[in-house]
Copies of this chain bind each other. A is one copy, B any other.
Amino acid sequence: MLTIKEVTEITEIAAPTLRYYEKEGLLPHVKRNENGKRLYDEEDLSWIYFVTALRATGMPIAQIQKYVYLYKEGDSTISERKLMMLYHKKEIERSIRDLYFNLDKINYKLALYDVLESQIERTSIKI
Contacts and interface: CB of A to CB of B under 8 A. Distances in A.
B56 A85 contact: no
Copies of the protein in its oligomer? 2
Contact of A85 (B54, B75, B106): B106
Interface in A48-84: 49-50, 53-54, 56-57, 75, 78-79, 81-82
B82 A106 contact: no
Interface in A99-119: 99-100, 102-103, 105-107, 109-110, 113, 116-117
Interface residues of A, number: 33
Given A103-B92, A107-B89, A109-B85, A117 B78 contact: yes
A1 interface: no
20 contacts: A50-B105, A53-B105, A54-B106, A56-B98, A57-B99, A57-B102, A57-B103, A57-B106, A75-B120, A78-B117, A79-B117, A81-B113, A89-B103, A89-B106, A89-B110, A92-B102, A92-B106, A95-B99, A96-B96, A99-B99
